[in-house]
Structure 1
Amino acid sequence: MTERTPRPRIATPTALALALALALLPLASATAQDDRHPPSDEQLAAIREKSAELAERLDRLDGALSPDQRAVGDAFADVAIFHKAAEWIVRHGEFFEERSAEWTIDALDRGLSRAEQALNGDRPWETAEGGVVRGFVSKVDGSVQPYAVYRPEGLDRGRRVRLDVVLHGRNARLNEVRFIRDHDGKPAEGIPTDRIVLHVYGRGNNAYRWAGETDVFEAIAAVRRTEQIDPARIVLRGFSMGGAGAWHLGLHFPSEWAAVEAGAGFSETIRYAKLDDLPEYQRKALHIYDAVDYALNAFGVPIVGYGGEEDPQLQASENIVEALRSLGIETTTEGLQTRAEGLEFLRVVGAGMGHRVDEESKAVIDAFLDENADHGVDADRPRVRFVSYTTKYHRAAWIQVPELIEHYRRATVEAEVDPEDPSVVAIATENVAVLAVERQVAETARIDGVELPLADAAGGLLPSVFYRRRGDSWEVLDYEQSRAIQTNAETRKHPGLQGPVDDAFTGPFLCVRGTGTPWNPGIHRWAVERLDRFAEEWDQWMRGELPIKDDVDVTDEDIRRFHLVLFGDPGSNLLIDRLLPRLPVGWVRGRVGFQSPYPAESHAPVLIAPNPLNVGRYVVVNSGHTFGADAFRGTNALLFPRLGDFAVIRIDREGGEVVESGYFDEGWKLAVPE
């Protein structure tokens, strides 16, 4: 049984563990598989010895921290990342470089030195110039995750400064040891004194999706806990896989960034990953991450897209330009630069370049970012244009969309303060069920032609006014109704609780293993195997230990804190049995299903829904991530959901056969076919 704690498990690698890891573990890529450099006996002995010594110092450090320091976790994580790096490289046999073992020993030495400083009450790395690798404890799985922060010489610590967030490209040889080697103690060359640079590890190679997305914002929050960062001057930058991440995060969160640089990468799935014949429930799920679908949000953030003239990933920025043109947005091209009319969008093509940035293009990009970063986030812009397909991404400037009429169908908001009468904001919506507008924007909101109060509307204690669609009209909600929307009292799909299954693994979750007598032993074995596979894949690809408890050990506090991920059937898992009468599935001993009944001895349900015991959290049945190791090894564009909100899987077919899958309606019920 593994319980979530505010700190990582500390273990000492053994020679047997290393041998097994090297001999048996599936490898990250063909390149890594063909070129491994295991440590010598002497090096392995040093790794074991130093790991044990660092584990002992971490135990002492944990006991020396104050309750506040322990609650945040940074003071511990800043040291624990070095032990975690050594543990994971051994566990997964990731000695990809000739000097990997040497780098591992060096990382442990750095950790030992840092631990000794921390035990003496000193943490000089918190103010050191140059590159410093630090850590935070992830809210998702309790793991320690590294990030690197660069402070230039001459940084003015008396004022708030700009933060550049850098997303790295894909590297099959990347692990925590390599990340530490690349950044810790490196000079901050070429970084102006008006900014700090953050390099996000993001759990390796996942294009900053799912928990990798959460990591970006947790790393930013960690930096802001110790640095003077101007929240209006945060710049997002990335190239290759990092460019895909910048397209994604820049267009899905347009109000978070002063400017965005997206270099190469990909911005859609079907063409990039060469897919066809996807079932409809998977095609719908592509609307979650396909950045091209969110091109309209370029109105909310200055963004520069780069691609080399000879680089196939030039297509990423071409997709965005094509999408803007399809919206009627005119573009003009001069040389190798394209601008879109009416918004801060610039596309730069590197003349004769492959998969890299030339100096001339870099100068243009840097000038664009500097100009817009100096201006900062324009939170009070008079016009907002916003698009989304899910309430997971629901905010732009002073507009929020907490509920949709239908998920995975295009929803838009076009809002503008009337230039002739600034007391009125005119808003046009499509596929929006609930709209929130900050009340300082104007006195009156004209929503789809319906005039309603804004500044003096009911619910004055709230900074935003909430409106609900009623047929072809709109109504303003009072304080209690607005609070019900915010707290999900009506149990509808809303921000952070909208599915599909994979969304549960972007926030705090706990897997629950059944210990009882199953209704169907075959279903229980299948569920346990599914949990075991999820644990292996999470450990290797998401760089953390899967949090697991037995059903008999789950507490009320667990139910309050975590999304519960339940494995088994109503006989084997106490929580499935307890929740079953309130879950949107038909499941008895002989049959199971959502839209149609299937034999229960050979078919298993998968679902995600609000937890009836805590509607602020999910309950998931019989599923980890719906994609697996093949997707992690392949292109990052493959990390999209393979199931919707629910599915029935026939387990007596090799690999399991999905016999039905789909989405619940906005009230978490089965949609009635028209």
Structure 2
Amino acid sequence: MKLSFFLLSLLVLQGIAPGQAQSIHTFNEGLYVENVHRYGREVRFTDPLAHALAVGTFPSPAEGQPFIQEEGEVWKSLSANEEGRFTGRIRSGYLSLSYHSAKSQKALLKISGNSMVYVNGIPRAGDIYGDGWLYLPVSLKKGKNEILARFNGLWSGISAELQLDPKPVTLQVADATLPDKVLGSGQGQMTGAVVVINATDRRLQNARMETNLNGRLQMVDLPEIPPMTFRKVPFEVDASTLTEKGEYNCSLQLLVGKTVSDTQEITLSARDEAEEHYKQTFISQIDGSVQYYGVAPQKGGPDENPALFLSVHGAGVEAIGQARAYSLKDWGVLVAPTNRRPRGFNWEDWGRIDALEVLEIAREKYRPDPERIYLTGHSMGGHGTWYLGATYPGKWAAIAPCAGYPTLMGYGSADGRIPENASTDTEKTLLRASNPSDVIQLAHNYQASGIYIHHGDADRVVPVTYARQMRGILAAFHPDFSYYEYPGGSHWFGSESVDWAPLFDYFRWHQIPADSAVNTIEFTTANPAVSDSYKWARILQQTVPLEYSRVKLERNPDQMAISGTTENVSILGLDVSNYPLDSIINLELDETQLEWKKNSDTLLYLHRSQETWKFGQAPDPYDKGIYRNGTFKEPFNHRMILVYGTSGSREEKEWAYNKARLDAETWYYRGNGALDIIADREFDLEVHGDRGVILYGNADTNRAWDLLLAHSPIQVNREEIRVGETVYSGEDLGAYFMVPRKDHPQRSVAVISGTGNAGRQTLFANQYFAGGSGFPDFVIIRADLPVVGLESILASGYYQNDWSLPEGK
């Protein structure tokens, strides 16, 4: 069967004479092969080359030869142009580079446009968007070194080079995260971040960063950096001497012990809050990294209780660029979060959390009127507006998606689409994890706010049909939305694409109503840990995990009555704080009639059992619920820490470290992140007690297994995987699963595990970092997943509310 995506590979022979000195080697000859792989927003993927690498049957590329088997796509030659770029329009796949080294040495590998790369069989992160600032420290062996880089989408214009014999430890400032000094704010200390590359075989310890801005020195200790990788590290700047607008040079000095390892310079800006857009940084609770947001300040300077506009950007747009697209408003301040990167996570998953972090920071910093908070965004940010607006009803007085698409099922992006239809029960289970992404199913939540839809009628990037689709859906039930198609408007037709006067007039007319003024509730969620409430109703626990849970409730204050229906709700919470003490509240839920006398409680808990509702207690905080509800991706939060196994064979230990490093590097690239990577023997329950944990290895190879997973209903060793009473045997098995931490009611462990080498290496794919991708609580696979597909998924599913395995198959 011919596959729909392509594989590009490029084989380049250097031909350098022994002893020849060369600091940079540019690859300019090679081979490629296309149309052979498919990655997307699912657990399953298609990649016969990756499978051949995992099982040890991959042949070295040769021109005219099939890439993995006797028949099929063959390797073809390709030459770079005078600028050292391989040009063309070829459906992407793998790029193979070969370098003959006269000695064993370290180097920095830079490839532009690839989604990941194997260096002598070891997986590393890729520069998928061609940003050009990703340098991978690699170990070259004497003789031939082989590189295989994977490319997704439509490939055009790729460059690749090796920087030979680099400094052991260096600074890279091209991807710096920098704040602006806001004049008149009293701001003195500022935090930024830059990349430190450790091109040595030892963990980098005792490193410090000294900054010098206008003669004011600041020194900070840096986190440890594992061998042969990099990390984005924070630094502090004393900006108290900056009193005038302008640009200022700041020097960075990297010290290892007492030795200066590298020095670089950055430029910081001082801005006037009354008239200029600016950037601010903060420490994210997702991973402890430095992030930023852009601000369009209130015109004329900050005022008491302004309106607050949260604006989410499109793909490839920086947050500060998003903020600068807006003129300053005299009645409010606009903040633009990053989605962790210009492309990031489509405002889902960690992009969603980033938006909420910035929203809360803005609430604290600007003290807005709580009734005048608005949401808007463009393109991918238009999708973000649809998504955040539906997911968090009650947070916004009004929302305004501009040139937006509603779902990743209908539109997708560089990571592809979420499939809309499932062909098997297994696929239905996998796709259920993506249910929170489907705003069509959440559409009735939009009744909580006004909506202004803004779209150019000549948009060829996001066709206006998406806006018309949502107009049709809203017309069936929404009492308050406005719709405008800009005549002749393309995808971007200037600042009016977002800064549209009628849109902000519409915002000005809307306020968030008080909870006491809302007596009708219609609310849907697919995951209470993502979104659990609207006004006085809370869905605290589901009956079937990740299916849609809905409530339709009517409150009659005069008759002291609440009535309505529910769907897929196990525990319901009702805020009764507005009712007088000792008053009698009559409830009718799904034909169950109850009567309750108001006491000092502010939240009334109702439990459903066998189609009947009863009064009960607050949910057990250790059960599934609003703080921890599962999916494999959930533990990637709460300053997550990566713990790799160091027991077992050399092959097992190398896999665990290489996989942890690949995830950390990919997380940095996709999420501007910074993660702690530690060995299993370093993990401490007390030291790391409040963190999400990502564990690599199995019970035989990771010393932290018993500390964290002794209670897990899923167990893995070298020979088998046990899922409850079911045993899967063999050396070709892999597993993604999560379990709750037994020592904490809100933290969890994600486990990336396998039996033998083939099963483990199949897990090098890490498309769980794609926004909206569906990974259930647990998935057990065989190593032939990349060539067989769904039939290689042996088990998948969701735990019950007490974290036990689901009953039946």
How many angstroms does 1:145 deviate by? 0.3
Alpha-carbon separation, structure 2, partners of 1:627 and 1:144: 27
1:233 maps to which of 364, 372, 397: 372
Alpha-carbon separation, structure 2, partners of 1:202 and 1:622: 25
Alpha-carbon separation, structure 1, partners of 2:646 and 2:374: 49
Give the secondary structure class of the aligned counterpart of 1:555.
Answer: coil
Structure 2 unpaired stretches of 5+: 1-22, 26-105, 118-124, 133-154, 180-185, 199-210, 219-235, 245-269, 754-759
CA contact (8 A) 2:637 2:692 kept: no
Alpha-carbon separation, structure 1, partners of 2:453 and 2:637: 27
CA contact (8 A) 1:131 1:150 kept: yes
More helix, by proportion: 1
How many angstroms does 1:127 deviate by? 5.0
2:681 maps to which of 549, 552, 560: 552
**Cα 1:129–1:143 shift into 2, 3 Å:** same
Match of 2:549 in 1: 411
Match of 1:354 in 2: 490
Give the secondary structure class of the aligned counterpart of 1:216.
Answer: helix
CA contact (8 A) 2:373 2:395 kept: yes
**Cα 1:426–1:549 shift into 2, 3 Å:** same
1:618 maps to which of 720, 745, 748: 748
Alpha-carbon separation, structure 2, partners of 1:563 and 1:599: 29
Give the secondary structure class of the aligned counterpart of 2:294.
Answer: strand
Give the secondary structure class of the aligned counterpart of 1:232.
Answer: coil
Alpha-carbon separation, structure 1, partners of 2:466 and 2:312: 16
How many angstroms does 1:441 deviate by? 4.7
**Cα 1:644–1:50 shift into 2, 3 Å:** closer
Tell me if 1:667 matches 2:802. Answer: yes
How many angstroms does 1:317 deviate by? 3.5
Tell me if 1:149 matches 2:295. Answer: yes
CA contact (8 A) 1:239 1:264 kept: yes
Give the secondary structure class of the aligned counterpart of 2:780.
Answer: strand
Match of 1:427 in 2: 564
Alpha-carbon separation, structure 1, partners of 2:109 and 2:387: 38
Give the secondary structure class of the aligned counterpart of 1:505.
Answer: coil
Q: Which amino acid aligns with 1:138?
A: S
CA contact (8 A) 2:312 2:322 kept: no
How many angstroms does 1:198 deviate by? 0.4
CA contact (8 A) 1:155 1:194 kept: no
How many angstroms does 1:183 deviate by? 7.7
Q: Which amino acid aligns with 1:371?
A: W
CA contact (8 A) 1:269 1:286 kept: no
**Cα 1:408–1:245 shift into 2, 3 Å:** same
Q: Which amino acid aligns with 2:531?
A: Y
How many angstroms does 1:37 deviate by? 11
Question: For 1:377-526, what aligned pairs fall within 5 Å after superposition?
Answer: 377-380=513-516, 381-391=518-528, 392-418=530-556, 421-442=558-579, 443-444=584-585, 445-453=587-595, 456-457=598-599, 460-461=600-601, 463-477=602-616, 481-482=617-618, 485=619, 488-489=620-621, 491-517=622-648, 525-526=654-655
Q: Which amino acid aligns with 1:557?
A: E
Between structure 1 and structure 2, the one with the greater Rg is: 2
More strand, by proportion: 2
Give the secondary structure class of the aligned counterpart of 1:535.
Answer: helix
Alignment coverage as a number of residue pairs? 575
Alpha-carbon separation, structure 2, partners of 1:466 and 1:122: 56
How many angstroms does 1:627 deviate by? 10
How many angstroms does 1:110 deviate by? 11
Alpha-carbon separation, structure 1, partners of 2:360 and 2:497: 33
Alpha-carbon separation, structure 2, partners of 1:122 and 1:554: 46
Alpha-carbon separation, structure 2, partners of 1:355 and 1:111: 47
Alpha-carbon separation, structure 2, partners of 1:263 and 1:665: 40
Give the secondary structure class of the aligned counterpart of 1:130.
Answer: coil
TM-score, normalised to structure 1, is: 0.74
How many angstroms does 1:315 deviate by? 3.9
**Cα 1:643–1:116 shift into 2, 3 Å:** closer
Question: For 1:2-401, what aligned pairs fall within 5 Å after superposition?
Answer: 20-21=109-110, 26-29=126-129, 78-80=190-192, 83-84=193-194, 87=195, 117-118=238-239, 129-157=275-303, 159-171=304-316, 182=321, 190-204=327-341, 205=343, 206-273=345-412, 275=419, 279-311=427-459, 312-324=462-474, 331=475, 341=477, 343-356=479-492, 362-372=500-510, 375-380=511-516, 381-391=518-528, 392-401=530-539
TM-score, normalised to structure 2, is: 0.63
Alpha-carbon separation, structure 1, partners of 2:361 and 2:497: 34
CA contact (8 A) 1:133 1:183 kept: no
Alpha-carbon separation, structure 2, partners of 1:475 and 1:111: 68
**Cα 1:630–1:343 shift into 2, 3 Å:** same
Give the secondary structure class of the aligned counterpart of 2:440.
Answer: helix
**Cα 1:447–1:110 shift into 2, 3 Å:** farther
Structure 1 unpaired stretches of 5+: 1-13, 59-68, 92-106, 325-330, 332-339, 633-637
How many angstroms does 1:191 deviate by? 2.2
Alpha-carbon separation, structure 1, partners of 2:744 and 2:539: 23
Alpha-carbon separation, structure 2, partners of 1:354 and 1:116: 42
